Chains A and B, each alone.
Chain A
Amino acid sequence: MNLLEVTELSKNYPTFKLKNVSFQVPEGQIIGLIGVNGAGKTTILKALLNLIPVDHGNVRMFEQVFLENELACKQKTGVVLGGIDFYKEKKVKDITEVTKRFYEDWDEAAYQKFLTLFSLESNKKIKELSAGMKVKYLIALALSHQAKLFIFDEPTSGLDPVSRDELIEIFLQIVKNGDKSILFSTHITSDLEKCADGIVYIKEGELVQAAPKGEFIDHFQKLKEPDETEALSLEDIMVRMEGKHYDF
């Protein structure tokens, strides 16, 4: 079963176009959305959550049309778009107190467990949390309202290697039972090497390739130079696909 199916998503901005992007997120998998800065990763994530109205395309979440079942779908979705940039002066406990009222399946015991597990202090203000802690707080909220689909926008960007590794470990824990999935955008391809099951590659608003990780890497081995013997990594693939040559 696919927890998310995106079909021919299109959005026109005056200076940028998202063109007929389609991909799926199967149950129990981590799917990485990759592309350089400005490729359209955040636009895709926002479009599929109706944060930006799309010009064309369909989003099905939990086998339902998202726009027709927006509330039910959002009840089961945990979203982390670029850390927390709201209510920085408010305390963690205040935001939780408000947020939990909107979720039917809020599990207070689970929330308290994740606070302890992630070493989060509920009396701290959001601005006092480190970048990694902010992501962990939002994950704790999502896990406490029993989210099945997690959508992260560059959750590991700006984090130190230890925090990044810790987050990857959390991602793997989230999907280990096979009933939850993660879609996360990143340009740090080494994170995907460690945890992703599938890759969706976006370039200048267009889908280049969406496939299981192994198949994806095999597909791009054609970019190898004749004298190269080692297989290309995800980073090599991106650099070769996107790299520019300057001659001053």
Chain B
Amino acid sequence: MISNLLYKEVRLAAHPNLFIFTLMGPLVLIPGYPYTMVFIFGLIGNFINLMYTRENNDIYYSALLPLKRSEIVLGKWLVLLVSQLLTIVVSIPFAFLRLQLVSRPNPVGIEANIAFYGFGLMIFACFNLIFLTSYFQTVYKVGTSFLKGLIPATFVAIVVEVLTHFPTLSWLDAVTFDGQIKQLPILAAGILIYSIAMWRAYKISVRRFSQVNL
């Protein structure tokens, strides 16, 4: 069933921009850039994708298939999950490449290191929990849902970029092996927060969508 849902999402529902914004990992090669934008672009990709879903009446089409309402939610939830994990996986080789190609540190904000990916998962978590649950309250207020999710997610991103400028928190900016080992708790916290947020996002979305008149 999961493979059929994903097949439907990719073959019919997905907007091409979803793929473009998911593959923004190479941005970490820019010598001076707020790298958390890699994650923010991912959010924009998913927003455009759900707009496209709405314009194509995908939810209506899906509701007529032999699917439960919870499985319709699962389809959209999977798109968020897969696209965001792909964003991270695609960017990792470029983070390594940056260390080889650019010797100067990123003057703008955080480096593409382990802490960066931990914070990235927190940005995604914060957005997903608000965006998905808000969307499934009506399945048509995509813009409002996006804004509600984007504001706190952007706030987290700005905080992350600013934190690294404080001398006491410079360890968050380290790119050495030992320095990044110290950042592992940030990554663990990111994984934990992301997992909890995704679980809650699914549960709340299913509950809300069960009451929607299509």
Choice from B8, B57, B64 contacting A79 with Cβ under 8 Å: B64
Closest residue of chain B to A52, judged by CB?
B213
Known: A50-B69, A86-B61, A103-B66. A94 touches B56 (CB 8 A): no
Instruction: Tell me the count of chain A residues lying within 8 A, CB to CB, of chain B.
Output: 26
Q: How far is the CA of A86 from the CA of B56 in the complex (A)?
A: 5
Choice from A49, A52, A87 contacting B61 with Cβ under 8 Å: A87
CB-CB under 8 A from A98, the residues of chain B are 7-8, 11-12
The answer to whether A97 and B57 touch across the interface, beta carbons within 8 angstroms, is no
Choice from A53, A74, A85 contacting B57 with Cβ under 8 Å: A85
| CB of A75 within 8 Å of the partner chain | yes
The answer to whether B12 and A102 touch across the interface, beta carbons within 8 angstroms, is no
Closest residue of chain A to B65, judged by CB?
A102
Please report which residues of chain B, range 196-210, place their CB below 8 angstroms from some CB of chain A when the two chains form the complex. Answer: 210
Of the listed residues A52, A79, A86, the one surrounded by the most CB atoms of chain B closer than 10 A to its CB is A86
Known: A53-B210, A98-B12, A101-B7. A86 touches B58 (CB 8 A): yes
Please give the distance in Å from B210's CB to the nearest CB on chain A: 7
Closest residue of chain B to A70, judged by CB?
B68
CB-CB under 8 A from A221, the residues of chain B are none
The answer to whether B213 and A81 touch across the interface, beta carbons within 8 angstroms, is no
Q: How far is the CA of A85 from the CA of B60 in the complex (A)?
A: 9
CB-CB under 8 A from B159, the residues of chain A are none
Q: Scan B43-82; emit 1 where CB is below 8 A from any A CB, else 0.
A: 0000000000000111011011111110000000000000
Instruction: Tell me the count of chain B residues lying within 8 A, CB to CB, of chain A.
Output: 21
| CB of A168 within 8 Å of the partner chain | no
Please give the distance in Å from B166's CB to the nearest CB on chain A: 50
CB-CB under 8 A from B170, the residues of chain A are none
| CB of A90 within 8 Å of the partner chain | yes
Please give the distance in Å from B60's CB to the nearest CB on chain A: 6
| CB of A51 within 8 Å of the partner chain | yes
The answer to whether A87 and B12 touch across the interface, beta carbons within 8 angstroms, is yes
Q: How far is the CA of A95 from the CA of B58 in the complex (A)?
A: 11
The answer to whether B67 and A102 touch across the interface, beta carbons within 8 angstroms, is yes
Of the listed residues B4, B61, B66, B69, the one surrounded by the most CB atoms of chain A closer than 10 A to its CB is B66
CB-CB under 8 A from A79, the residues of chain B are 64
| CB of B211 within 8 Å of the partner chain | yes
Q: How far is the CA of A88 from the CA of B52 in the complex (A)?
A: 12
Choice from B7, B12, B57, B67 contacting A95 with Cβ under 8 Å: B12
Q: How far is the CA of A51 from the CA of B161 in the complex (A)?
A: 45
| CB of B101 within 8 Å of the partner chain | no
| CB of A223 within 8 Å of the partner chain | no
Closest residue of chain A to B64, judged by CB?
A79
Please give the distance in Å from A2's CB to the nearest CB on chain B: 21
CB-CB under 8 A from B7, the residues of chain A are 98, 101
CB-CB under 8 A from A70, the residues of chain B are 66, 68
| CB of B214 within 8 Å of the partner chain | yes
CB-CB under 8 A from A102, the residues of chain B are 4, 65-67
The answer to whether A99 and B57 touch across the interface, beta carbons within 8 angstroms, is no
Q: Scan B176-214; emit 1 where CB is below 8 A from any A CB, else 0.
A: 000000000000000000000000000000000011011
**Which B residues lie at the A interface, using CB under 8 A?**
4, 7-8, 11-12, 56-58, 60-61, 63-69, 210-211, 213-214
Question: Can you offer 27 A-B residue contacts whose CB atoms are under 8 A?
Answer: A46-B213, A49-B63, A50-B69, A51-B60, A51-B214, A52-B213, A52-B214, A53-B211, A53-B213, A70-B66, A71-B68, A74-B64, A74-B67, A75-B66, A79-B64, A86-B57, A87-B12, A88-B56, A89-B56, A90-B56, A94-B12, A97-B11, A98-B12, A99-B65, A101-B4, A102-B4, A103-B66
**Which A residues lie at the B interface, using CB under 8 A?**
46, 49-53, 70-71, 74-75, 79, 81, 85-90, 94-95, 97-99, 101-103
Query: What are the nearest 7 A-B pairs in CB distance?
Result: A74-B66, A86-B57, A86-B61, A52-B213, A51-B214, A101-B4, A102-B65
A51-B214, A86-B56 given; 13 more Cβ-contact pairs under 8 Å: A46-B214, A49-B64, A70-B66, A74-B64, A75-B66, A79-B64, A86-B57, A88-B56, A90-B56, A97-B11, A98-B11, A101-B4, A102-B66
